[in-house]
Amino acid sequence: MQIRDVGSNLLYHVHPDIGKKLVGAGLAVEIKHVGPYHPRQMSWSLVANHMPWPVIKASCPCGSSNELTGPTAHITQKVGHCGIQEAVPKDIAARYDAIVAERKVRMKHGRG
């Protein structure tokens, strides 16, 4: 476990038995990591009928949720969560790309 020494504010990695003793004695406080080291499973969805551009929605059990939109959102935008910057998954990006391409064609022809 990781502890912070109360006097010096220095961080130490110690055996849990020792850490608990020091925390119990009031000499240290336990450092609890806010986010996991490994990213949790982000769930992604696509709102295709949103205008002018579709919306990519992302939410994670860590509490992070995001909405990405724009002509290149699926390529340029990432979602920061669990200590990482996660890119849009390929299948979502491909669907998004198809919708964007179709809308660009419609705009060109002045029908959309």
Order of strands, edge to edge, in the sheet holding 65-69? 43-47, 55-59, 65-69
Least separation in angstroms between CB 110 and Zn ion: 42
HSE, CB side, 13 Å, CA atoms: give it for residue 53.
16
Stretch that binds Zn ion, among 50-58, 65-73, 78-86, 92-100 (CB under 5 A): 78-86
Residue 64 tokens read as 């992070």
DSSP secondary structure code for residue 111 in this structure: -
Least separation in angstroms between CB 41 and Zn ion: 8
Is 79 one of the binding residues for Zn ion (CB under 5 A)?
no
Binding to Zn ion (CB under 5 A) within 1-30 occurs at none
Residues forming contacts to Zn ion in the complex (CB under 5 A) are: 40, 60, 62, 64, 81-82
